[in-house]
């Protein structure tokens, strides 16, 4: 491998790592989903285990890992550092794994591509489960790849496959979907490569090892069956293009409705030209993407950049192997394509990092603390918004995720009645209080007309401007921060 070539790739990897660190330094605040993660992780362990299925579609493994991390430090930056360090481990793992299977040049190319894929840079600055999920996923793929190539599996390899399959499935709500394709492609390849020589044994052992993993998928499937999911709601080509753009080029990329389709042509289709990179791109990127679109159109909305982004380690594997092959071929055009693509990804990840800012709660919490009266009452929409504001109020107590909840309704109300008087009821599964007392101030996670009685003025927090809910009241003051609106309502002069 040429020395200049090696230095170039190492510099690309270093750029990706430094960009991740810069992002959490420049924007060390938490937005909606991140506040949820922090609240889960910083709750007592028993409350954490109860609160995750109570509030979330995702399984509990990530929150348990983050809980351990939170015991070692505190503050937003410390929490965000967890994601960055896990993602750096993904980069190192891809370098090692790709290098073991295809040689060190391929390992460097794969690590470099992953390091500057804009969506992975974005995921690494978020307090969510993506980095942990990717770390588990690439090692699961590696263990299965060893079994495919050898046509057999030792006890340790089988045990590692099962444990990693369970961990990946129990880290993200769509983990079972990704794991299915990883196992399925391994099963097909084992059958093709070793069926004639060794019969059904390798394939049957793989199916047997998948059984406990498939059973673990019941958690996410059960929770997801009655929770709302996000994604495109129909065959909206502009919306589909926008999600593809975010997946391939990150946030705030120009012309998002069409750029995603161009990104497919530039990034995802060229690796199909080479045998070494074709299988990974077909089985672990394109096929799952098409399947998600079909599920979205026929069953439930699941296609969006966050779900398609679960396959980005395989995009990096396929693209990196492809570029390493082009470079080894000494083709001027091939080398130019590989360098050009890396340059585009570097610029796109830099653009995403500079242009995108989280719609955090810190500024709004400090603003309300400054502007509101000492005995003010604030109404927000849901527990997560309450957690977000309370996290940055100087006099707000630290509370468990189960502590303050709005009243439940519909199917959850029926479940509450069934559990009344039992362990889950006594443990506070449905809340121990209906509002937070922050000094003399109150924060309510819901708005009900009876709560407004006797209040001369009150505050409303929302994503956008809203009318005062009590008849006869007027908007006295209003404030805005990115993604948040705050208004004070009451009777003028009252």
Two structure tokens written together for 309: 């982004």
Tens digit of pLDDT for each residue in 317-361?
999 999 999 998 878 898 999 999 999 999 999 999 999 988 889
* Closest C-alpha among 3, 7, 9, 2 to residue 339: 9
Using an 8 Å Cβ cutoff, are 486 and 463 in contact? Answer: no
CA distances 140 to 55, 98, 146, 214, Å, are 28, 13, 10, 15
- When pLDDT is averaged across residues 152-171 and rounded to a whole number, the result is 94
The separation between CA 487 and the C-alpha centre of its own chain, rounded to angstroms, equals 31
Span between the terminal Cα atoms of the chain, in Å = 78
pLDDT: which is higher, 341 or 453: 341
Alpha-helical segments (H) within 71-200: 76-102, 104-116, 118-124, 130-150, 155-169, 175-198
pLDDT: which is higher, 13 or 329: 13
Confidence of residue 280 (pLDDT cuts 50, 70, 90): very high
The separation between CA 327 and the C-alpha centre of its own chain, rounded to angstroms, equals 33
For residue 379, pLDDT over 90 is answered with: yes
Distance CA 308, CA 254 (A): 20
Distance CA 146, CA 169 (A): 20
Distance CA 244, CA 232 (A): 11
pLDDT attached to residue 227: 67
pLDDT: which is higher, 200 or 100: 100
Q: Picking from 97-101, 235-239, 458-462, which range would have the lowest pLDDT averaged per residue? A: 235-239
For residue 231, pLDDT over 80 is answered with: no
Confidence of residue 485 (pLDDT cuts 50, 70, 90): very high
pLDDT attached to residue 196: 59
Contact partners, residue 290, CB within 8 Å, separation at least 6: none
Contact partners, residue 79, CB within 8 Å, separation at least 6: 30, 37, 38, 41, 66, 69, 70, 127
CA distances 60 to 130, 401, 445, 454, Å, are 13, 14, 24, 42
What region, left, alpha or beta, does residue 405 occupy, with left being phi > 0 and alpha being psi -120 to 50 degrees? beta
Using an 8 Å Cβ cutoff, are 284 and 66 in contact? Answer: no
Two structure tokens written together for 276: 């070494």
For residue 494, pLDDT over 60 is answered with: no
pLDDT attached to residue 491: 87
Confidence of residue 198 (pLDDT cuts 50, 70, 90): low
pLDDT attached to residue 462: 92
Helix (H) or strand (E) holding 380: none
Q: What is the percent of the chain with per-residue pLDDT over 90, rounded to a whole number? A: 77
- When pLDDT is averaged across residues 387-406 and rounded to a whole number, the result is 93
Q: What is the dihedral of CA 314, 316, 322, 327, to 10 degrees?
A: -160
Using an 8 Å Cβ cutoff, are 392 and 481 in contact? Answer: no
Tens digit of pLDDT for each residue in 29-72?
899 899 999 999 999 999 999 999 999 989 999 999 999 999 99
- When pLDDT is averaged across residues 454-479 and rounded to a whole number, the result is 93
Distance CA 51, CA 403 (A): 10
3-state secondary structure of 337: helix
Confidence of residue 199 (pLDDT cuts 50, 70, 90): low
Using an 8 Å Cβ cutoff, are 301 and 229 in contact? Answer: yes
Strand order in the sheet with 474-481: 436-438, 441-444, 377-379, 457-462, 484-490, 474-481
- When pLDDT is averaged across residues 95-123 and rounded to a whole number, the result is 97
Distance CA 54, CA 405 (A): 11
Contact partners, residue 167, CB within 8 Å, separation at least 6: 61, 136
Distance CA 272, CA 108 (A): 20
Q: How many CA atoms lie within 13 A of 89 on its CB side?
A: 16
Sign of the dihedral through C-alpha 145, 150, 151, 152: negative
Q: Kind of pairing, strands 457-462 and 474-481?
A: unpaired
CA distances 309 to 172, 207, 305, 313, 346, Å, are 12, 26, 6, 9, 18
Tens digit of pLDDT for each residue in 125-147?
999 999 999 999 999 999 999 99
- When pLDDT is averaged across residues 282-291 and rounded to a whole number, the result is 97
For residue 184, pLDDT over 60 is answered with: yes
3-state secondary structure of 206: helix
Sign of the dihedral through C-alpha 274, 276, 281, 282: positive
Q: What is the percent of the chain with per-residue pLDDT over 70, rounded to a whole number? A: 97
pLDDT attached to residue 360: 87
């Amino acid at each position: 491998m040429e020395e200049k070539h090696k230095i170039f790739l190492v510099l690309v990897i270093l750029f990706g790592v430094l960009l991740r660190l810069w992002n959490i330094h420049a924007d060390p605040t938490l937005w909606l989903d991140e506040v949820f993660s922090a609240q889960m992780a910083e709750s007592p362990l028993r409350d954490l285990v109860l609160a995750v299925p109570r509030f979330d579609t995702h399984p509990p493994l990530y929150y348990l890992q983050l809980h351990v991390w939170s015991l070692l430090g505190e503050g937003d930056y410390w929490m965000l550092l967890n994601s960055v360090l896990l993602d750096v481990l993904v980069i190192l793992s891809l370098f090692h794994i790709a290098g073991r299977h295809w040689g060190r040049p391929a390992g460097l190319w794969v690590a470099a591509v992953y390091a500057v894929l804009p969506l992975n840079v974005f995921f690494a600055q978020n307090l969510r489960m993506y980095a942990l999920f990717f770390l588990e996923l690439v090692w699961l793929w590696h263990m299965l790849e060893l079994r495919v190539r050898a046509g057999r599996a030792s006890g340790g390899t089988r045990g590692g496959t099962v444990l990693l399959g369970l961990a990946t499935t129990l880290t993200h709500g769509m983990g079972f979907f990704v794991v299915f394709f990883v196992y399925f492609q391994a099963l097909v390849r084992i059958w093709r490569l070793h069926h004639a020589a060794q019969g059904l044994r390798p394939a049957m052992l793989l199916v047997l090892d998948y059984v406990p993993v498939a059973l673990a998928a019941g958690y996410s499937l059960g929770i997801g069956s009655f929770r709302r999911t996000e994604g495109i709601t129909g065959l909206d080509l502009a919306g589909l293009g926008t999600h593809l753009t975010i997946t391939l080029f990150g946030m705030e990329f120009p012309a998002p409705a069409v750029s995603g389709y161009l990104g497919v042509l530039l990034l995802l289709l060229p690796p199909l030209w080479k045998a070494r990179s074709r299988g990974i791109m077909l089985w672990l990127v394109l096929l799952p993407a098409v399947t998600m679109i079909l599920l979205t159109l026929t069953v439930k909305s699941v296609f969006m950049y966050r779900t398609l982004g679960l396959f980005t380690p395989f995009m990096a594997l396929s693209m990196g192997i492809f570029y390493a092959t082009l470079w080894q071929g000494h083709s001027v055009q091939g080398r130019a394509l590989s360098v050009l693509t890396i340059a585009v990804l570097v610029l796109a990840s830099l653009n995403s990092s500079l242009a995108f800012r989280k719609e955090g709660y810190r500024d709004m919490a400090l603003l309300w603390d400054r502007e509101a009266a000492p005995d003010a009452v604030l109404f927000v929409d849901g527990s997560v918004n309450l957690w977000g504001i309370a996290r940055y109020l100087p006099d707000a107590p630290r509370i468990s995720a189960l502590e303050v909840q709005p009243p439940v309704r519909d199917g959850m109300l029926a479940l509450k009645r069934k559990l009344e008087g039992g362990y889950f009821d006594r443990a506070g599964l449905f809340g121990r209080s209906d509002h937070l007392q922050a000094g003399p101030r109150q924060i309510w996670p819901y708005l009900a007309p009876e709560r407004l009685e006797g209040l001369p003025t009150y505050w409303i927090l929302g994503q956008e401007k809203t009318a005062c809910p009590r008849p006869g009241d007027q908007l006295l003051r209003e404030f805005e921060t990115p993604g948040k609106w705050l208004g004070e309502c009451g009777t003028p002069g009252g």
